[in-house]
Amino acid sequence: MNETFDVVVAGAGPVGLMLACELRLAGVDVLVVERLDEIDTTMKAAGINVPTAQALYRRGLLPELIEDQNRARAKMGLFARDSTVSDTEPLKLRFAGHFAGIMIDIGVIDFGLPEFADLGPAGEVFFVPQQDIEATLGRRAAELGVVVRRGVELTEFTADGDGVTIRLGDNTIRAGWLVGCDGGRSIVRKLSGFDFPGLDPEVTGHQALVEMTGAEGLTPGWTTTDTGMYVYNPTLGRILTVELDGPPADRNAPITAAGLQASLRAVSGVPVEITAVHSATRFTDNTRQVTEYRRGRVLLAGDAAHVHSPFGGQGLNLGVGDAVNLGWKLAAVVQGRAQTDLLDTYTTERHPIGAWVLDWTRAQVALMRTDKRSRELRAVMSELLTTREAATMVFQKISGVLHRYDLGGGHERVGAMVPDLELSDGTRIGEHFFEGGAVLFDLADSAELRAAAAPWAARVRVVTAKTVRTGDLTAMLVRPDGFVAWAADSGSRDGLEAALIRWFGAVA
């Protein structure tokens, strides 16, 4: 059977599904292929950052996120009641995350900084497991008409100047573009010959949901020992171990109860006995990143483009960010609304954020080492993270509120996520992106501004409404991915036409 699609996406994890939804929302004919028959239920990321929550909110998925978070809160039991709180008051989160297992007290963070302002309702969503994100995106893909084929493995392809010919078993698919969202061992990356430099692994980690006896001697939460680190959640039966004596001898070997038991005993010194394993993964601190995210008609996103340890839970967020950045750009190229050089901005914008995540995880591994010097450094870092300034800085990083792109332009909001301001018509800014596409916010009811943008009416929607909170901001041009491409104060239109041409193409 020979078929033709605009884009084929390899991988139906959250990154592949997010990208497929973005493409389909823009009218692109997309096929997703996945070698697994069902969603992988192995325990993975347990939370999302602000850019991920905002991206899903801007596509109308906030109700699902809130429902998933409420369910996860009840299930995981990670919320503890303050001693002064009555049984009728809501549970409060004690910690805002961690750095190398050093917990960050949420009460120390300065949430009054500008970076935490105007996040809207999505700013309250963070505790959503990866499996729930994947299930939500799977349902949305079906609603949008994305073709998803499971139990199908991409084995080979050839790319030329006009497209890609892909072999899926006995079937041949012709596509204009191929995007590898097929994980850290990406076959798309390997067959395309992307350079993938980085550092080899030094540690062996395991994460699992288990049943065990003899766990009374384990300390709940993150614990550092003379031989490594472990995490124990008695409510859920979750364990995580980090052994610092080198990578696993065989990364592909089956994970057994005996192996998990030996690892937990080695780092804890407690003679536990694991009697059942419900979910388990093995990981290392291997950190690598492709030098470019595109080679001709082939692109990469998510773990296919960058791999790192799971410390800090940045992998899911990094991949969703890739998908949201790439989706609207690839759609514009497919539909002839932009030249292919628009895709070059995918690498220039996303590569620096990926590089930061790799560096961030490497630093955490360094703080986990057991030698005397590293232990002293960890003690210093632990003390620093009790201060308001250090705790706030680290949380700003891991929450993603500092993420921005270098888009040029003189306005402070250009390159940053659009603030979710409340508008005078009763809506919020984030609610105007449910259908995808770019939006020009006319916040001063300017006929001149609307006239200047009129030639792009088929590509950029104009929303005229004032903000509830008064200020100098009079207009913002926002890309489909929610990042500000142009902004103005006091009615100026300088640079608007240049920004419209740069991001949405010249028009007659």
pLDDT of 121 strictly over 60: yes
| pLDDT for the residue numbered 79 | 38
Last residue of a domain, one of 252, 284, 316: 284
The two tokens of residue 275 are 């009697």
Closest CA to 278 of 110, 37, 41, 115: 41
* Structure letter (DSSP) for residue 2: E
CA dist 324 to 89, 245, 320, 430, 452, Å?
Answer: 37, 38, 6, 15, 27
Q: Do 280 and 300 fall into the same domain?
A: no
Average pLDDT over residues 398-403: 94
pLDDT of 80 strictly over 50: no
Q: Tell me, yes or no, whether 382 lies in a domain.
A: no
Contacts of 202 (CB under 8 A, 6+ apart): 244, 246, 247, 284, 285, 365
Q: Do 173 and 277 fall into the same domain?
A: no
Average pLDDT over residues 307-318: 88
| pLDDT for the residue numbered 93 | 64
Average pLDDT over residues 181-200: 96
Q: Do 172 and 122 fall into the same domain?
A: yes
| pLDDT for the residue numbered 76 | 60
Q: Tell me, yes or no, whether 109 lies in a domain.
A: no
Beta bridge partners of 243: 204, 228
| pLDDT for the residue numbered 103 | 92
Q: Do 121 and 256 fall into the same domain?
A: no
pLDDT of 90 strictly over 60: no
What CATH number is given to the structural domain containing 267?
3.30.70.2450
Q: Do 133 and 47 fall into the same domain?
A: yes
User: Is beta strand 2-10 parallel, antiparallel or unpaired with respect to 30-34?
Assistant: parallel
Q: What are the b/e assignments for 67-91, b being 16+ CB within 10 Å?
A: ebbeebeeeeebeeeeeeeeeeeee
Q: Tell me, yes or no, whether 105 lies in a domain.
A: no
| pLDDT for the residue numbered 82 | 37
Q: Do 252 and 313 fall into the same domain?
A: no
User: What are the two backbone dihedrals, phi and then psi, of residue 167, each rounded to the nearest 5 degrees?
Assistant: -100, 125
User: What are the two backbone dihedrals, phi and then psi, of residue 248, each rounded to the nearest 5 degrees?
Assistant: -65, 145
The C-alpha atoms of residue 89 and residue 93 are separated, in whole angstroms, by 13
Q: Tell me, yes or no, whether 43 lies in a domain.
A: yes
* Structure letter (DSSP) for residue 90: P
Q: Do 331 and 268 fall into the same domain?
A: no
What is the number of alpha carbons within 13 Å of residue 290 lying toward its C-beta?
A: 28
Average pLDDT over residues 431-453: 96
As for how many domains the chain has, the answer is: 3
pLDDT of 393 strictly over 80: yes
Tell me the DSSP string of 205-230: EEEEEEEEE-GGGSPSEEEE-SSEEE
Last residue of a domain, one of 284, 310, 333: 284
Average pLDDT over residues 20-40: 94
Q: What is the pLDDT of residues 123-161, one digit of tens each?
A: 999 989 888 999 999 999 999 999 999 999 999 999 999
| Segments forming the whole domain that contains residue 487 | 416-504
Q: Tell me, yes or no, whether 90 lies in a domain.
A: no
Q: Is the pTM of this model over 0.85?
A: yes
Residue with tokens 């949008």: 144
| pLDDT for the residue numbered 46 | 78
Q: Do 330 and 474 fall into the same domain?
A: no
| pLDDT for the residue numbered 25 | 97
Q: Tell me, yes or no, whether 319 lies in a domain.
A: yes
| pLDDT for the residue numbered 83 | 32
Last residue of a domain, one of 239, 268, 284: 284
Angle formed at CA 445 by CA 442 and CA 449, multiple of 5 degrees = 60
Q: Tell me, yes or no, whether 407 lies in a domain.
A: no
What CATH number is given to the structural domain containing 317?
3.50.50.60
C-beta of residue 208 within 8 angstroms of C-beta of residue 260? yes
Model confidence band, residue 235 (pLDDT cutoffs 50, 70, 90): confident
Please state, for a pLDDT cut of 90, what percent of the chain lies above it: 82
Q: Do 152 and 292 fall into the same domain?
A: yes
Mean pLDDT computed over every residue of the chain: 92
Q: Do 292 and 279 fall into the same domain?
A: no
Q: Tell me, yes or no, whether 378 lies in a domain.
A: no
Average pLDDT over residues 232-245: 90
Q: Do 163 and 21 fall into the same domain?
A: yes
Model confidence band, residue 251 (pLDDT cutoffs 50, 70, 90): confident
The C-alpha atoms of residue 441 and residue 464 are separated, in whole angstroms, by 6
Residue with tokens 């699992």: 208
pLDDT of 89 strictly over 60: no
Q: Do 46 and 186 fall into the same domain?
A: yes
The two tokens of residue 81 are 């009641």
